[in-house]
């Protein structure tokens, strides 16, 4: 057995700002994020603040594995996260 076969893939993380969730996300959007995270084994966290206060009220976003993902709406945020994840 090789050394690299013992390495585990690091668990992915999606973080969402509670203010941004309140401003841009509806129940369906939240369900879509929760379902995707559960299906993919991704940890999903709602955070009080992600220090994007200038951009937070302008557009929906999430942080995926420390990468900020901005888009016009939550569906696009999730689509971008899926694309980034597919390219990992």
Could you tell me the pTM of the whole model? 0.85
Delimit the domains of the chain by residue range: 11-86
Average pLDDT rounded to a whole number, residues 54-68: 96
Scored b (16 or more CB within 10 A) or e, 29-62 reads beebbeebbeeeebebeeeeebebeeebeeebbb
- Dihedral of the CA atoms 85, 63, 72, 82 (nearest 10)? 10
Beta-bridge partners for 60: 71
Please list, in sequence order, all residues whose beta carbon lies within 8 angstroms of the beta carbon of residue 68, skipping any fewer than 6 positions away.
Answer: 52, 61
User: In the structure, what pLDDT confidence band is assigned to residue 11 with cuts at 50, 70 and 90?
Assistant: confident
pLDDT at 1 over 90: no
């Amino acid at each position: 057995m090789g050394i690299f076969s013992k390495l585990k893939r690091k668990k992915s993380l999606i973080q969402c700002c509670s203010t941004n969730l309140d401003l841009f996300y509806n129940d369906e959007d939240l369900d879509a994020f929760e379902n995707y995270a559960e299906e993919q084994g991704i940890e999903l966290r709602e955070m009080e603040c992600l220090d994007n206060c200038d951009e937070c009220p302008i557009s929906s976003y999430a942080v995926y594995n420390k990468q900020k993902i901005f888009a016009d709406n939550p569906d696009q945020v999730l689509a971008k996260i899926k694309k980034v994840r597919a390219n990992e």
